[in-house]
Chain A
Amino acid sequence: MLFFLNVLTSGLLAGLMYAMVAIGFVLIYKASGVFNFAQGSMVLFAALTFVTLNEHGLPFWAAFPLTIVVMIAGAVLIERLVLRPLVNRNPNTLFMATLGLSFVIEGLAQLLLGTDVHQLDLGIDDIPVSVLGLQISAFDLFASAIAVALVAVLAVLFSKTRMGISLRAVADDTLAAQSIGIRLPRIWRIVWSVSGFVALVAGLLWGARQGVQFSLSLVVLKAMPVLIIGGFSSIPGAIVGGLLVGATENLADIYIGPLVQGSVSTWFAYILAVGFLLIRPAGLFGESAIERV
Chain B
Amino acid sequence: MKLSKTLALFSALLLGATSLATLPSLAAEHDGEQLYPLFSYRTGPYAPSGIPQWGGIRDYFNYINEVKGGVDGVKIFVQECETAYTVERAFECYERFKNGYAGAPVAALFTTSSGFDAAVSEKARADKLPVVSVAGGREDAVDGNVFPYQFPLLFDYWTESSIVIDYIAKQVGGYDKLKGLKIATVYHDSGYGRDTIEPLAILSKKYGFEDIQIPVPHPGEQQQAQWQQIKEAGADWVFFRAWGVMTPVGIKTAARVGFPADHIIGDIWSGSEEDVKPAGAAATNYLAVSVYSPGVDFKISQELKKDIIDPGKSDLKDTSKFGSVYYNAGLVTAIIYVETLRTGHKKFGNRPLTPAEGEWALEHLDITAQRIEEIGATGLLSPLKVTAADHEGSPAAKIQQWDGKAWHPLTDWLNGDRALFHDAIFAKAAAYAKEKNLPPRDATN
Contacts and interface: CB of A to CB of B under 8 A. Distances in A.
B150 to A, nearest CB: 28
A107 B318 contact: no
A116 B324 CA distance: 13
A137 B245 contact: no
A117 interface: yes
A126 B219 CA distance: 21
Contacts of B48: 115-117, 213-214
Interface in A201-222: 206, 209-215, 217-219, 222
Contacts of B225: 7, 10-11, 249-251, 253-254, 257, 265
Most chain B Cβ neighbours within 10 Å, of A3, A115, A266: A115
Given A116-B48, A209-B249, A14 B232 contact: no
B277 A6 contact: no
Given A6-B228, A213-B245, A250-B225, A137 B278 contact: no
Given A110-B47, A222-B222, A253-B225, A210 B252 contact: yes
Nearest to B228: A7
Nearest to B278: A211
B387 interface: no
Contacts of A144: none
B229 interface: yes
A219 B213 CA distance: 25
B217 interface: yes
A135 B258 contact: yes
Most chain A Cβ neighbours within 10 Å, of B44, B224, B229, B282: B224
Nearest to B225: A253
Nearest to A107: B43
Does more than half of chain B's interface fall in helix, strand or loop, or is it mixed? helix
A251 B43 CA distance: 34
A265 B45 contact: no
A139 B47 CA distance: 28
B256 A218 contact: no
B48 to A, nearest CB: 5
Contact of A262 (B189, B274, B282, B317): B189
How extensive is the interface on chain B, given as a class? Answer: 35 or more
A211 B279 contact: yes
A10 B228 CA distance: 9
Contacts of A107: 43
A149 B48 CA distance: 34
B176 interface: no
Most chain A Cβ neighbours within 10 Å, of B217, B232, B277: B217
A287 interface: no
Interface string B16-44: 00000000000000000000000000111
A180 interface: no
Given A6-B228, A11-B224, A210-B248, A262 B279 contact: no
Contacts of B278: 117-120, 210-213
Interface string A1-39: 001001100110010000000000000000000000000
A114 interface: yes
A111 to B, nearest CB: 9
A211 B47 contact: no
B13 interface: no
A213 B277 CA distance: 12
A147 to B, nearest CB: 16
B246 to A, nearest CB: 9
A128 interface: yes
Given A215-B219, A218-B45, A210 B249 contact: yes
Nearest to A120: B278
Interface in B274-311: 274, 277-282
A125 to B, nearest CB: 8
How extensive is the interface on chain A, given as a class? Answer: 35 or more
Contacts of B260: none
B232 A3 contact: yes
A214 B224 CA distance: 21
Given A127-B255, A128-B256, A262-B189, A10 B221 contact: no
A250 B217 CA distance: 12
Contact of A266 (B217, B244, B248, B274): B217
Nearest to B232: A3
Given A213-B48, A262-B189, A219 B221 contact: yes
A265 B215 CA distance: 11
A121 interface: yes
B372 to A, nearest CB: 31
Interface in A122-144: 125-128, 135, 137, 139
A214 B47 contact: yes
A132 B102 CA distance: 70
B219 A218 contact: yes
A52 interface: no
Interface string B249-277: 10010011110000000000000001001
Interface of B: 42-45, 47-48, 51, 189, 213, 215-219, 221-222, 224-226, 228-229, 232, 244-245, 248-249, 252, 255-258, 274, 277-282, 317-318
26 contacts: A3-B232, A6-B228, A14-B224, A114-B318, A117-B48, A119-B277, A119-B279, A120-B278, A126-B282, A127-B255, A128-B256, A137-B256, A209-B249, A210-B221, A210-B245, A210-B249, A210-B252, A213-B278, A214-B44, A215-B45, A215-B244, A217-B45, A218-B221, A249-B222, A250-B228, A266-B217
Given A126-B256, A217-B45, A257-B225, 16 more contacts: A3-B228, A3-B232, A115-B42, A117-B48, A117-B274, A117-B278, A119-B280, A126-B255, A127-B258, A135-B257, A209-B249, A211-B245, A211-B279, A213-B48, A218-B219, A219-B221
